Amino acid sequence: MGMTMTQKILANAAGLEKVEAGQLIMAKLNLVLGNDITSPVAIHEMDKFTSKGVFDKDKIALVPDHFVPNKDIKSAEHCKCVREFAKKNDITNYFEVGEMGIEHALLPERGLTVPGDVIIGADSHTCTYGALGAFSTGVGSTDMAAGMATGEAWFKVPSAIKFNLTGKPAKWISGKDIILHIIGLIGVDGALYRSMEFTGDGIKYLTMDDRFTIANMAIEAGGKNGIFPVDDQTVAYLKEHTKREYKVFEADADAHYDEEYTIELDKLKPTVSFPHLPENTHTIDEIDEIKIDQVVIGSCTNGRLDDMRIAAGILKGKHIAKGMRCIVIPATQQIYLQCMEEGLLKIFIESGCVVSTPTCGPCLGGYMGILAEGELCVSTTNRNFVGRMGHIKSEIYLASPAVAAASAIKGYIASPEAI
């Protein structure tokens, strides 16, 4: 029996000819990632180690992005801890506020993630880099500490589910609609500790930003990782962003998959996830007029340039509903700058939105958009758990940038076709 794409990457990193699902391995790491919330815990754990320092200053990325610019004294202390650790260990890829971005948008942009890599990060959405044909997954801060010190991590080799994407998506169907549809289909634990491997002729119609979104939310179905094959679009993206060498792995024809699903992209409709789980999905034509108080367009899931362009295209020449709050957060400084050069920021501001520097703030209920009791928000973020963005009696509806922008204009959950 052959190996899946993920299994081949892990076998290579472990120095083995073959691995099987359920096997425990030690694998060499190409990158270890931490942010301003998780890194301090890992740093303090490293203080307990016999060996001091990091295994490779070029293979660690520290990105303060959750509570920055610092919202309070505690967050300032966390960032100070990370900053001092980075300076002490001469970390190459430490990103201060003026050059940073939301970690999972920033790292591919800076060319730090390539096909065949094994990447761990002390953040659950580290699975984003599977869009580039890498194995990437979230870990706890203790595993991050061990990874920074040794350059290795242990894994249980995951089994896999294949998602065969076919057909060409309609105009308003994005990666967010596709992954919400899949999570609604299999549930939030449908891929528990399994690799979600995406294939099929429909992939060629998906932009890299679509793929980053889909891989990013693999964890919302319980997946160990999400991963895409490397194609011409991937290669073009890599040529633009990095000079690193990389290795392409492909699943064997006889690889075993626990389950296989076919997703006909041409039949999908804009999809919204209702409170309080990502699996609680409804297509836009099934939704009654649900009035909302706030819209957030951004995050590691949907704060990329394509997302900004789509939202601006809908908002241009229009104004958000009276009493509405719409917060737009470009995911990196480079995306922010590009939005400025293309006139997108002008569109957002003239339409009544507020534009923020890159931050994860509202997604995790940190700051820059906290919800009060009884308030409803349409958000392009990735989680809508109870209290995720503020009060435990607030509600979050997950949607694409197109649906979010249309909803901001209408004042209720709306289809972009209605604008």
Q: Are strands 31-35 and 60-63 parallel, antiparallel or unpaired?
A: parallel
Residue 292 lies inside a defined structural domain of this protein? yes
What lies within 8 Å, CB to CB, of 57 at 6+ separation is: 89, 90, 91, 92
* Average pLDDT estimate for 247-273: 97
Among 263, 292, 322, which residue terminates a domain? 263
Half-sphere exposure of 238 (CA within 13 A, CB side): 21
259 and 282, same domain (yes or no): no
156 and 282, same domain (yes or no): no
pLDDT one-digit tens code per residue, 400-416: 999 999 999 999 999 99
Q: What is the pLDDT of residue 52?
A: 80
Alpha-carbon distances, residue 193 vs 85, 144, 255 (angstroms): 32, 19, 18
Instruction: Beginning with the edge strand found earlier in the chain, give each strand of the sheet holding 60-63 in spatial order.
Output: 93-94, 60-63, 31-35, 118-121, 135-138
pLDDT one-digit tens code per residue, 74-102: 999 999 999 999 999 999 999 999 998 99
**Structural domain span for residue 254:** 5-263
Of 63, 40, 67, whose CA–CA distance to 362 is shortest? Answer: 67
Q: What is the pLDDT of residue 418?
A: 87
84 and 158, same domain (yes or no): yes
> Among 20-24, 52-56, 256-260, 324-328, where is mean pLDDT lowest?
52-56
Among 263, 297, 318, which residue terminates a domain? 263
How many secondary structure helices (H) and strands (E) does the chain include?
13, 18
Measured distance CA(401)–CA(353) in Å, rounded: 14
- DSSP label at 151? S
What sign results for the dihedral spanned by CA atoms 52, 140, 377, 387?
negative
Asked if pLDDT for residue 51 goes beyond 80, the answer is no
- Domain count across the chain: 2
Residue 192, domain CATH: 3.30.499.10
196 and 278, same domain (yes or no): no
Residue 311 lies inside a defined structural domain of this protein? yes
Residue 419 lies inside a defined structural domain of this protein? no
Going by pLDDT thresholds of 50, 70 and 90, the confidence category of residue 419 is: confident
pLDDT one-digit tens code per residue, 167-194: 999 999 999 999 999 999 999 999 999 9
Q: What is the pLDDT of residue 102?
A: 96
Q: Are strands 24-28 and 152-156 parallel, antiparallel or unpaired?
A: antiparallel
Going by pLDDT thresholds of 50, 70 and 90, the confidence category of residue 242 is: very high
pLDDT one-digit tens code per residue, 297-308: 999 999 999 999
Going by pLDDT thresholds of 50, 70 and 90, the confidence category of residue 115 is: very high
pLDDT one-digit tens code per residue, 143-155: 999 999 999 999 9
299 and 365, same domain (yes or no): yes
pTM, two decimals, is 0.95
235 and 314, same domain (yes or no): no
Portion of the chain with pLDDT greater than 70, in percent:
100
Largest CA distance in the chain: 62
258 and 275, same domain (yes or no): no
Q: What is the pLDDT of residue 400?
A: 98
Q: Are strands 281-283 and 271-273 parallel, antiparallel or unpaired?
A: antiparallel
Residue 349 lies inside a defined structural domain of this protein? yes
125 and 93, same domain (yes or no): yes
212 and 283, same domain (yes or no): no
Q: What angle do CA 359, 330, 314 make, to 5 degrees?
A: 135
Q: What one-letter code names the amino acid at 143?
A: D
54 and 175, same domain (yes or no): yes
Q: What is the pLDDT of residue 186?
A: 97
41 and 86, same domain (yes or no): yes
Among 263, 280, 302, which residue terminates a domain? 263
* Mean per-residue pLDDT of the chain: 96
231 and 288, same domain (yes or no): no
Percentage helix, strand, coil for the chain under 3-state DSSP, each rounded to 5: 35, 20, 45
* Average pLDDT estimate for 345-352: 97
